[in-house]
């Protein structure tokens, strides 16, 4: 009798064809029918009312977010094909409405190096901005936009002198270009010192663990009442992203500087008309801690008060001069300390200097002048 060979065993000797055949059989096999109840979406479980803390976060964001803006810094760039000069984005940051007159406050480093900027409001209206003034020593700048007052609700101003470690704070900004982001945290520490972008020391800084990322710069730090208590400026992070350590310029400092930028276009620091020596001179001459005068401007405030600098005679020997050790009884350790104290005063104001000369300490009254 003739031997027959079935189809499946023959395919078994060809694994690829066998696998294809089995796949087709499974695909054509009838699926179990699904009941109506299997196809229906699951019922939503009611959650009940939001908690009081959640509702407080929501209400604060609704009240304050219309006052927060997105800033795009622009720079001129020439198209290599058309040779036309165009304004292209150089960076982005955050700002906030200072008053109904159209003034916007942000960080200086947000617009540093730009020759133009645009401001995008919370309703996505984009406006051209004009630089009013900047003070790099405190990383602050003021822009101006033309818009109906109703589109520019200013933030309420708080105080930073009575802040306490542990109190709740909120940061609103545009991290990584994302619009209107709210983060929450606490005041982690007070009276920190950070370095501004021109190497000046910024004192009295607020430290917070509210997440602050690139793009948050220039945005507001708010208290639980929705009042401005600081301007977010830097983070401490090797990666450049939030690591739980953010810093904000205290609002008392902002409220002192911004009105003068709006009025004068720059922050006019009072001057003593002096130049300070290096610390190695201080150590070499074993002088007390303070500001060692190496130059006194002729007919300047210090010169009129009788202060004299350290100098050399014709033989190269150092002649004794003055060291300023305090202003109005508050000690100054170096020129940075002195400048920080002068920034809290106005031209024409009278201050009392503690001056060391040849081992003797005396008090000298000086009338401050405007810096050139």
Active-site amino acid positions: 109, 139, 217
Instruction: Tell me the chain's radius of gyration from C-alpha atoms.
Output: 33
Q: Could you give the CA distance from residue 294 to residue 275 in angstroms, rounded to a whole number?
A: 6
**What sign does the CA torsion over 170, 173, 179, 183 have?**
negative
Q: Are 250 and 221 in contact (CB under 8 A)?
A: no
Q: Could you give the CA distance from residue 50 to residue 31 in angstroms, rounded to a whole number?
A: 44
Q: Could you give the CA distance from residue 255 to residue 136 in angstroms, rounded to a whole number?
A: 16
**Cα distances (Å, whole numbers) of residue 242 to 182, 219, 333:** 14, 15, 33
Name every residue whose Cβ is closer than 8 Å to that of residue 56 and which is 6 or more positions away in sequence: 224
Q: How many CB atoms lie within 10 A of CB 44?
A: 6
**What sign does the CA torsion over 61, 62, 67, 70 have?**
positive
Q: Are 270 and 346 in contact (CB under 8 A)?
A: yes
Tokens 């609700």, residue located: 153
Tokens 């927060």, residue located: 68
Tokens of residue 346, six digits: 């106005």
Q: Are 21 and 7 in contact (CB under 8 A)?
A: no
């Amino acid at each position: 009798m003739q031997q027959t060979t079935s189809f499946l065993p023959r395919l078994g000797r060809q694994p690829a064809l066998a696998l294809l055949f089995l796949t087709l059989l499974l695909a054509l096999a009838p699926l179990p029918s699904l009941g109506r109840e299997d196809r229906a979406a699951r019922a939503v479980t009611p959650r009940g009312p939001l908690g009081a803390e959640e509702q407080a976060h929501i209400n604060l964001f609704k009240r304050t977010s219309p006052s927060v803006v997105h800033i795009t810094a622009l720079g001129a760039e020439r198209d290599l094909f058309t040779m036309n000069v165009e304004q292209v984005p150089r960076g982005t940051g955050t700002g906030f409405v200072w008053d109904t007159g159209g003034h916007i406050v942000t960080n200086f480093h947000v617009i540093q190096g730009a020759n133009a900027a645009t401001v995008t409001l919370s309703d996505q209206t984009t406006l051209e901005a004009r630089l009013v003034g900047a003070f790099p020593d405190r990383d602050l700048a003021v822009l101006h936009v033309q818009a109906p007052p109703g589109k520019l609700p200013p933030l309420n101003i708080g105080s930073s002198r009575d802040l306490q470690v542990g109190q709740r704070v909120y940061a609103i900004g545009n991290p990584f270009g994302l619009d209107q982001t709210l983060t929450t945290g606490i005041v982690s520490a007070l009276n920190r010192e950070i370095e501004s972008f021109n190497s000046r020391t910024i004192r009295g800084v607020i430290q917070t663990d509210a997440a602050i990322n690139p793009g948050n710069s220039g945005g507001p730090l708010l208290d639980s009442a929705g009042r401005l208590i600081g301007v977010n400026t830097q983070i401490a992070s090797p990666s450049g992203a939030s690591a739980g350590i953010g810093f904000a310029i205290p609002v008392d400092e902002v409220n002192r500087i911004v009105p003068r930028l709006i009025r004068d276009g720059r922050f006019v620091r009072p001057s003593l008309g002096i130049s300070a020596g290096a610390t190695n001179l201080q150590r070499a001459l074993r002088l007390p801690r303070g500001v060692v005068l190496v130059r006194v401007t002729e007919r300047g405030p210090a010169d009129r008060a009788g202060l004299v600098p350290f100098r050399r005679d014709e033989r190269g020997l150092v002649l004794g001069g003055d060291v300023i050790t305090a202003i109005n009884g508050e000690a100054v350790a170096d020129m940075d300390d002195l400048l920080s104290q002068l920034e809290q005063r106005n031209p024409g104001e009278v201050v009392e200097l503690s001056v060391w000369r040849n081992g003797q300490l005396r008090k000298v009254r000086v009338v401050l002048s405007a810096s050139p």
